Structure 1
Amino acid sequence: MFCCATSEMTTKKRSSAEIYDRAEEEIESSKTLKKARLEDSAKEVAQCSAEKSYMASMKRSREEIYYSANEEIESGKTLKKARLDDRAKKVAHSSAEESGMASMKRSREEIYYSTKEDLAESSKTLKKARINPSTKEVAQGSTGESCKATRKRSWEEIYYSAKEIENSYAENELKKQKTDAAGVGGTTNIPTTGRIEAPLGPESFIYHRILGQGGCGKVLLATHRDSGKLVAIKMVIKDSLVNYDPHFIHVERQVLEIAEGSPFCAHAYATFQTEDYMYYVMEYLSGGDLFYTTIDPCDLTTIRHLAAELLCGLDFLHSNGVAHRDLKPENIFIDGTGHVRIGDFGLAATNMFGSKTLTGRTGTQSYWAPEVVRCQPYDTSADYFSLGTLLCKTVFGVNPFHGESMKEIMRNICCKIPRLQRGIDPVLADFLCKLLRKDQNMRKEAVANIRQHPFFNGVNWEEVEARKTPPPFANQLSPMEMTASVIELEDLVKHQQPISDTKQKLFNGFSFVSDAWRAMQ
């Protein structure tokens, strides 16, 4: 019993060290608790202060509310009165040409009526006005008080005298319903303005649909507002062309002017430019291109007419020193009568006369001639190899040098014989093989008398040149069915990175208007 009591007393005793440690822990715990309470109190004070500050900032005097409401009412009235047409703000103005052409800010109807009023007030003075188009200076006689009040107009606006404006206005009223006698363009039933001819700009046309699109721009179906003429507008981004190769800036325009002499080449009516874009106003060829066209290999008549017309167009280009360099089905177009046209001269080379040659790879790889693949000097005969390849692709639906990769295709172009469909007409096969000769000197000899090849027996080349032979394809769908929709100009013209004044000078002299376009106005 004594031992148990002694043990119990021992367990109840704590050393002074244990008591000290425990007391120290309780003191630290007490301090921590007080600190936490102080922090919570500080947070509550800060939150309360923030709420008071927020409430104070939200309060406004009755005078402030009154004047603010007054301002809002006035602003509402102003907004109701200001009904601006956003589309008018987004109109892309044409950049000034080197000759100093300023963008016309008034419609030609306004010019007409304004000058008509001037004529009524001071007819004698207006009759003395003479304009020199070459210097764009106006030799004016003495003016009456009414003429002094007339504000200055740009030389484009006063280019026509009041009498000329009246005559042109009357003539254009009679030309609204005019149709294209050649059958390659046509007019639309979109109402025209009956306005006189003036420098072209993007706003001169109504845009309907995108016909094609590439890395440098797009091709659009459009209607000329004044004449109702249906055209194709090719838009090219200036900056992309400058970065690719400035050499090509004027090439296509120059070739298009040359191409006016052949009925088997695409024609341009005009070209113009803005700060960001180059525009080509082209014939609208409603039949599309050969890429989406197939021919029965047994239909030798169609193949013969197609090959004959393409040879005529290609021979014309070569005789005028033009190497196309990008012949392929996508660049062969069909007009409204079913005849074919060679187009897209963006990569063409000019002044290719005599023994002049070119180097460098240009065009579409799968249609290159062997000398182009090997980076050897070549001349216009390379176009005949491309012609043979595109005819095979159109007739048989496959490239004669088809491969699993572009590297294999180029190896086949240089080393393999063309693979033609079994069972085809042997005369047709021989004609194609002559175009596809790998040695360019042998190819030159073969194509020198290609029109006398047996494949063209019975062909009257004079009639072909005059487009008196039946067209390779049937008459195409009327373009009227494609003009129902309208695309706004601001949806087509995207703002581009500005190019420097030095680069802009590269485009000097780009714009032109053809005689054919002037005759249609």
Structure 2
Amino acid sequence: MASTQSLNTPLSKSQELDTAEKVTKEFEQPGLLYVRIVEARNLNHVANAKALKESQPMPYLVIEFDKNETMSWGKEPKQEEYASAGTIDFNFNTSFDVSRESDLVVTMYQKKALRGDIPVGTVRISPAFDQKEQDEWFKLLPVGSASTPLTTSVGEIRVHILFKEHPKTAVKPLGVDDFEILRVLGKGSFGKVVQVRKKDTGRVYAMKILKKASIVERDEVQHTLAERNVLAKVSHPFIVNIKFSFQTKDKLYLVLAFVNGGELFHHLQMEGRFEESRARMYAAELLSALECLHSFNIIYRDLKPENILLDYSGHIALCDFGLCKLNMKDGHTTNTFCGTPEYLAPEILLNQPYTKAVDWWTLGVLIYEMIVGLPPFYDENHSVMYERILGDELKFPDYMGTAVMDLLKKLLNRDPAQRLGANGAQELKSHPFFAEINWQKLNARKYRPAFRPEVSHAADTSNFDQEFTSEEARDSCVDPHNRLPDSQQAQFAGFSYRKTSAESMQIGSLNGRRGSLPRGSLALRREGHGLRRWEE
């Protein structure tokens, strides 16, 4: 039987940890999860005949598994049938690639004429993965928010689930021919990121394509492999994951969950700045993600709006792990000079050994930028900006609240030993700015985001830069003169991940967006606003 966790049932301490950061259970044999949404019933109080008379669209569903989602619209019923029974016939079939355990999440939305569809209800289902058919009715529960408590169910939905393993004799290694390339999402010095559709399941992913010769030429092999290994066995609700990886003699291919809400940077540009409450929720989700990385002795080192994606529901997804430093236990230091100019911590600028505390500095810069619209020490002249980072007084606008000002003063402390978070993430979680956050509820994604990106379908790229999405999408050929010699192929021997005869990866990683490529990319971060990535 499939199981479902009631969304208004408190999580135990062990459940909270398991939800926030857990070691992924890998399948001995990958397979496909077949899902059929049959129908919904008892929906009279959320949509009725009056709504139909006013020509409002039917509710629709977003079905998500392992950070990959698809959408389905209900079939129009007769008014008298809908009014009397509150039923919607979906009869929608879909399938998902399975390489690790994950929950199936079904959320119903009511379409609005204007921006901002209303979430009606949701259910989280834990499939059995025992290759036995499951056909059950599940309660739809309200989608919670910071100010709205969860109450009773708003209806029921019938879901049919069946997991089938790939036959061991039938599975062949994945290759680029197993995917249809749809759009370009981003480009950089080592390659590009494209949107793809897996031909057998129809699932949409982001595929990162890297040229081996370029990686070797810039001495980035170890960084590329380190990126591939980051979070090799971790699943986190606010971190993008990799689904598959493979390689040819010329290129490396990473297939990632496609997060279609676009970069946080894009939305910040569009709106100028965010309300403090909205910034608080983003900051809390990022804090949870960074706490997870730190618990696995990883420093992120590149937190900025460009490396944060929004999913279809408005939750954040941290991506791009190209600057991560692994094996950083408590008290350990490193010296690599890397990051983004506006976000560099003072100890990095001073070429001093640094710890995980650099991530808390960058979180402070990000919170400030979300609320104000620019980083706290920003200047178009980098030399001036570095001087300001090292010595200027932190200034706040009149509209900034007392709690967030206190938080920023403590995060942007130039002494890393005295910086908030130097003794662990709990110091931040206990700060008054996050007083209203229930961390169990947050990690279970039970809060209803204040903003939800406009997304019309699973493959929607309207939230990505048209400079790239308008380009011809293809996997270009490599010039024979620029090919990597066979003698150097062994450097990438550890890149591909194989489980039986199927290739898949269960690691957190980056997603396609401008410049989300290996270290050394010098794509402009924003007009007159420095470089996306900078190091010496």
Give me the TM-score of the superposition, normalised by structure 1: 0.60
Closer, same or farther: CA 394–238 of 1 in aligned 2, 3 Å: farther
Structure 2 equivalent of residue 474 of structure 1: 452
Alignment partner of 1:421 out of 397, 402, 417: 397
Q: Distance in 2 between matches of 1:417 and 1:462?
A: 36
Q: Distance in 1 between matches of 2:480 and 2:200?
A: 27
Structure 1 equivalent of residue 489 of structure 2: 504
| Structure 2 gap ranges (5+) | 1-27, 39-60, 73-93, 98-165, 463-468, 498-502, 508-536
> 1:463 and 2:441 equivalent?
yes
Structure 1 equivalent of residue 283 of structure 2: 307
Q: Is the 8 A contact 1:297 1:396 kept in 2?
A: yes
Offset of residue 184 of structure 1:
4.1
Q: Distance in 2 between matches of 1:437 and 1:218?
A: 37
Offset of residue 236 of structure 1:
1.7
Structure 1 equivalent of residue 377 of structure 2: 401
Q: Distance in 1 between matches of 2:240 and 2:328?
A: 20
Offset of residue 337 of structure 1:
1.7
Q: Is the 8 A contact 1:207 1:489 kept in 2?
A: yes
Amino acid at match of 1:459: I
Closer, same or farther: CA 355–428 of 1 in aligned 2, 3 Å: same
Structure 1 equivalent of residue 412 of structure 2: 436
**Larger radius of gyration, structure 1 or 2?**
1
Alignment partner of 1:326 out of 293, 298, 302: 302
Q: Distance in 1 between matches of 2:431 and 2:353?
A: 28
> 1:181 and 2:181 equivalent?
no
Q: Is the 8 A contact 1:188 1:228 kept in 2?
A: no
- Per-residue deviation, residues 201-223 of structure 1 (Å, max 9, x unmatched): 11211111111222222211110
Closer, same or farther: CA 495–283 of 1 in aligned 2, 3 Å: farther
Q: Name the SS for the 1:324 alignment partner.
A: coil
Q: Name the SS for the 1:249 alignment partner.
A: helix
Closer, same or farther: CA 498–175 of 1 in aligned 2, 3 Å: farther
Alignment partner of 1:449 out of 402, 427, 434: 427
> 1:245 and 2:224 equivalent?
no
Structure 2 equivalent of residue 199 of structure 1: 173
> 1:378 and 2:354 equivalent?
yes
Structure 2 equivalent of residue 228 of structure 1: 202
Amino acid at match of 1:245: E
Q: Name the SS for the 2:230 alignment partner.
A: helix
> 1:257 and 2:232 equivalent?
yes
Offset of residue 286 of structure 1:
0.6
Closer, same or farther: CA 256–278 of 1 in aligned 2, 3 Å: farther
Amino acid at match of 2:435: N
Q: Is the 8 A contact 1:210 1:221 kept in 2?
A: yes
Offset of residue 479 of structure 1:
2.7
Closer, same or farther: CA 273–424 of 1 in aligned 2, 3 Å: same
- Per-residue deviation, residues 120-141 of structure 1 (Å, max 9, x unmatched): xxxxxxxxxxxxxx9xxxxxxx
Structure 1 equivalent of residue 157 of structure 2: none
Q: Distance in 2 between matches of 1:374 and 1:334?
A: 34
Q: Distance in 2 between matches of 1:396 and 1:472?
A: 18
Q: Distance in 2 between matches of 1:291 and 1:496?
A: 38
Amino acid at match of 1:230: V
Closer, same or farther: CA 246–371 of 1 in aligned 2, 3 Å: same
Q: Is the 8 A contact 2:303 2:362 kept in 1?
A: yes
Q: Distance in 1 between matches of 2:348 and 2:204?
A: 38
Q: After the TM superposition, which residues 260-271 of structure 1 pair with which residues of structure 2 at under 5 Å, given as runs?
A: 260-271=234-245
Q: Distance in 2 between matches of 1:367 and 1:308?
A: 19
Q: Distance in 1 between matches of 2:385 and 2:251?
A: 36
Q: Distance in 1 between matches of 2:334 and 2:460?
A: 44
Q: Is the 8 A contact 2:242 2:506 kept in 1?
A: no
Higher strand share: 2
Give the percent of matched residue pairs that are identical in Structure 1 and Structure 2.
31
Closer, same or farther: CA 497–385 of 1 in aligned 2, 3 Å: same
Offset of residue 330 of structure 1:
0.4
Q: Distance in 1 between matches of 2:197 and 2:492?
A: 26
Q: Distance in 2 between matches of 1:334 and 1:496?
A: 40
Structure 2 equivalent of residue 98 of structure 1: none
- Per-residue deviation, residues 440-477 of structure 1 (Å, max 9, x unmatched): 00111595511111111121111111211223531540
Q: Name the SS for the 2:64 alignment partner.
A: coil
> 1:274 and 2:259 equivalent?
no
| Structure 1 gap ranges (5+) | 1-133, 135-159, 161-167
Q: Name the SS for the 2:329 alignment partner.
A: coil
Q: Distance in 2 between matches of 1:211 and 1:308?
A: 27
Higher helix share: 1
Q: Is the 8 A contact 2:272 2:373 kept in 1?
A: no
Q: After the TM superposition, which residues 44-443 of structure 1 pair with which residues of structure 2 at under 5 Å, given as runs?
A: 180-182=63-65, 184-187=67-70, 197-242=171-216, 243-258=218-233, 260-294=234-268, 299-443=275-419
Q: Distance in 2 between matches of 1:335 and 1:248?
A: 27
Q: Distance in 2 between matches of 1:204 and 1:286?
A: 21
Offset of residue 322 of structure 1:
0.9
Q: Distance in 1 between matches of 2:203 and 2:481?
A: 29
- Aligned-pair RMSD on alpha carbons? 3.6
Q: Name the SS for the 2:69 alignment partner.
A: coil
Give me the TM-score of the superposition, normalised by structure 2: 0.59
- Per-residue deviation, residues 140-159 of structure 1 (Å, max 9, x unmatched): xxxxxxxxxxxxxxxxxxxx
Structure 2 equivalent of residue 112 of structure 1: none
Q: Distance in 2 between matches of 1:218 and 1:176?
A: 36
Offset of residue 424 of structure 1:
1.1
Q: Is the 8 A contact 2:245 2:496 kept in 1?
A: yes
Q: Name the SS for the 2:196 alignment partner.
A: strand
Q: Distance in 2 between matches of 1:455 and 1:248?
A: 36
